[in-house]
């Protein structure tokens, strides 16, 4: 965050019972250059009492979801029901995205996922500063709207005093107000805009209506969509108002993401006499969201992937297999499965060492991925056992693939020692799912088929 963009001092109430997480939270703010004061409490009742005693003592409340005796989400709902005049941010563990979604639906201002590598700590100051700024801006915006309806003189006073970038146009689309914050965020001085209908110059390279222009013309939603397709929504603040979020490449160096809201201004008889538009720079939040999504994607991939072979792991197998079995039971579609086990793997390990044994497992994984279709999925089931799911596949088709896999692996050459070549083989069991059989029974039946292949001499395929 640039020096000029640093927020005012933030007073944070942190509701967190984990001492290590509290320490990390404090450290995250010590490493940034702007001022903040953090008040700690470990229990929900304690937090409620502190807020009731003096809500103005805090700018934001940060609540961990896993609190003793009461979930953080329930505490947030309690504070929202009490109309506490503070923004709320909930902290949830990785994998608890549903809690975060429920929190947002309930009215919580934002959420932060505590990912395992603790990269979220770098985003804490940015996210909380934006939440506080957005909350204060929203309050200021609503206050300004009330004042706007009272008198033009009052409007001018409030607009110029707002820290939220704001401009106003009249019924002829002439800019009447362009406050200092708007000058700062757009780089366009008020003297170049006020008295003209060129408010578009701040945002676009050529003339086109801004959101306030569309509001002034009482644009139908189809017309708003033609300019901001997929980026806008009707605002809950006032009937006939819209809000949107878009990227403006011509703002500043490298462009800016702005969240903007346009609201109609009405005269004493209810007629629309103008429109007011407020802006909020959400570039840092957007960058943080992208970084978080990338981190979550990496974490999800690691959590479902076997590190040695690059195949999916057994936990992900059961997740996918349950889905496929449910589909079979519902629609009667075919599903086949094969289970592969490396023959004499212990002897290979004892002869050449575990590192060379790992090369055999990796080699088998490569053969599997090369031979199966894109719709099929392969997993390391455990040790030297691998499993392949064949959705929408009859057993005769799966048998062909299994034989091809067996032969391809048998022909694979390994060099465990300099100048020495070695081969290995697999025994494969397979079968198709039977209606209402259940996943456990299905896998057990295929496993028994694999052992029959072992007992019949190995390096062969047995389907049941």
Residue 87, classed as helix, strand or coil, is: coil
Q: For domain 305-463, give the fold.
A: Alpha-Beta Plaits (3.30.70)
- What does the DSSP 8-state code read for residue 108? -
Q: Where are the beta strands (DSSP E) in 80-145?
A: 88-93, 110-114
Q: Would you state the pLDDT for residue 231?
A: 81
Contact between 24 and 121 under an 8 Å Cβ cutoff? The reply is yes
Residue 356, classed as helix, strand or coil, is: helix
Give dist(CA 291, CA 281) in Å, integer. Answer: 18
Q: Record the tokens describing residue 170, joined without a space.
A: 């009249």
* Dihedral sign of CA atoms 12, 13, 15, 19 in order: positive
Residues in the chain: 464
Q: pLDDT in tens for each of the 464 residues of the chain?
A: 444 345 568 899 999 999 999 999 998 888 776 688 999 999 999 999 999 999 999 999 999 998 988 899 999 999 999 999 999 999 988 677 788 889 899 999 999 988 888 888 888 888 999 999 999 888 887 776 665 556 666 777 778 888 899 999 999 999 999 999 999 999 999 999 999 999 999 899 889 899 998 888 776 677 777 788 778 888 876 777 888 999 998 887 888 999 999 988 887 777 888 899 999 999 888 888 877 777 666 667 667 899 899 999 999 999 999 999 999 999 989 999 999 999 999 999 999 999 999 999 999 999 999 999 989 999 999 899 999 999 999 999 999 999 999 999 999 999 999 989 999 999 999 999 998 899 999 999 999 999 999 999 999 999 99
Backbone angles phi, psi at 434, to 5 degrees: -105, 135
Give dist(CA 282, CA 285) in Å, integer. Answer: 5
In the chain, domain spans = 3-114, 135-284, 305-463
Q: For domain 3-114, give the fold.
A: Rossmann fold (3.40.50)
* Superfamily (CATH) of domain 135-284: PAS domain (3.30.450.20)
Q: Would you state the pLDDT for residue 297?
A: 62
Q: Would you state the pLDDT for residue 3?
A: 42
Give dist(CA 20, CA 42) in Å, integer. Answer: 12
Q: Record the tokens describing residue 178, joined without a space.
A: 């362009």
């Amino acid at each position: 965050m640039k020096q000029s963009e640093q927020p005012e001092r933030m007073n944070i109430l942190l509701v967190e019972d984990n001492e290590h997480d509290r320490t990390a939270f404090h450290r995250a703010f010590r490493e940034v250059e702007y001022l903040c004061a953090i008040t700690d409490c470990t229990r929900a009742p304690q937090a409620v009492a502190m807020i009731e005693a003096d809500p103005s003592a805090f700018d934001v409340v940060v609540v961990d979801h896993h609190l003793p005796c009461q979930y953080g989400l329930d505490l947030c709902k309690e504070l929202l029901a009490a109309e506490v005049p503070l923004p709320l941010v909930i902290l949830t563990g990785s994998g608890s995205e549903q809690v975060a979604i429920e929190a947002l639906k309930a009215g919580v201002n934002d959420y932060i996922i505590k990912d395992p590598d603790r990269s979220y700590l770098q985003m804490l100051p940015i996210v909380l500063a934006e939440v506080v700024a957005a909350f204060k801006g929203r309050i200021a915006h609503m206050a300004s709207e009330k004042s706007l309806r009272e008198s033009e003189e009052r409007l001018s006073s409030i607009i110029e005093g707002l820290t939220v970038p704001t401009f106003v146009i009249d019924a002829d689309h002439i800019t009447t107000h362009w406050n200092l914050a708007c000058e700062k965020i757009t780089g366009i001085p008020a003297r170049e805009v006020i008295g003209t209908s060129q408010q578009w110059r701040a945002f676009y390279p050529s003339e086109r209506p801004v959101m306030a222009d569309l509001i002034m013309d009482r644009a139908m939603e189809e017309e708003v969509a033609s300019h901001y397709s997929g980026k806008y929504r009707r605002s809950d603040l006032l009937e006939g108002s819209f809000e949107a979020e878009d990227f403006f490449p011509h703002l500043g160096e490298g462009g800016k993401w702005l969240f903007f809201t346009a609201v109609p201004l009405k005269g004493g008889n209810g007629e629309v006499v103008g429109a007011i538009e407020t802006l909020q720079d959400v570039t840092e939040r957007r960058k943080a969201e992208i970084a978080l999504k990338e981190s979550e994607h990496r974490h999800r991939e690691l959590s479902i992937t076997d590190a040695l072979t690059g195949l999916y792991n057994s936990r992900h197998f059961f997740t996918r297999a349950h889905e496929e079995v449910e589909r079979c039971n519902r629609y009667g579609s075919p599903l086949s499965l094969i289970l592969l086990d490396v023959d004499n793997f212990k002897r290979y390990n004892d002869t050449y060492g575990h590192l060379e044994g790992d090369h055999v497992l990796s080699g088998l994984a490569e053969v599997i991925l090369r031979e199966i279709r894109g719709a099929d999925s392969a997993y390391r089931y455990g040790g030297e056992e691998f499993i392949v799911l064949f959705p929408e596949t009859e057993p005769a088709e799966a048998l062909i693939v299994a034989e091809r896999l067996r032969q391809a692996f048998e022909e694979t050459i390994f060099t465990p020692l300099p100048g020495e070549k070695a081969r290995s083989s697999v025994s494969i069991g397979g079968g198709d799912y039977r209606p209402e059989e259940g996943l456990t029974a299905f896998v057990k039946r295929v496993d028994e088929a694999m052992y029959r292949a072992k007992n019949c001499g190995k390096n062969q395929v047995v389907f049941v």
